Amino acid sequence: MDQPALPGKERRTTERKTLRTAAQLKLPSGHVVDARTLDIGKGGAGVVSDYNLVVGAKVAVRITLPVTSSGGVVFEATATVANCTLASKDGGFRLGLQFQPLETAAAAALKALLS
C-alpha cells in the first residue's frame, strides 16, 4: 500500500525484498565499480559501494538475480541515486537507487524474483 512521504521517514512507495548479491554500477564517468545489494523492489534497490555518489547522479545497474533453479538472470537498469550515506556497519556507502522505467526483460526478471 502506498503511503505519503513524511519528513525523516521512509520514502519508498513499494515493498522491498532482501537480496544479498554482487552488483556493478556504471558511473556517469563511465567507470564501473563493484557493489553489493541489500534489498530490491519494483521501484529501486539498496546497495553498498566504496564510492560516495552524488544524490541525483544516474548510474547503470547490473545484478544477476537468482530467479531460476538453474541459475540467475541478468538484470540491467538505469537508476538515480536517491540517497547516499556512510554506513560503517555495512562497510561502505549505502546507496538508495530509484529505477528509471524498466525495459521489458528487466521488468520480467524483477517480477519473477519478487513473486
Q: In the chain, what are the domains?
A: 16-114 (2.40.10.220)
Q: Is-contact 84 96, C-beta < 8 A?
A: yes
pLDDT score of 18: 95
- For the stretch 23-59, pLDDT in tens is 999 998 999 999 999 999 999 999 999 999 999 999 9
Locate all alpha helices (DSSP H) within the chain, ordered by sequence: 104-114
pLDDT above 70 coverage of the chain, percent: 88
Q: Tell me the three state secondary structure of residue 92.
A: strand
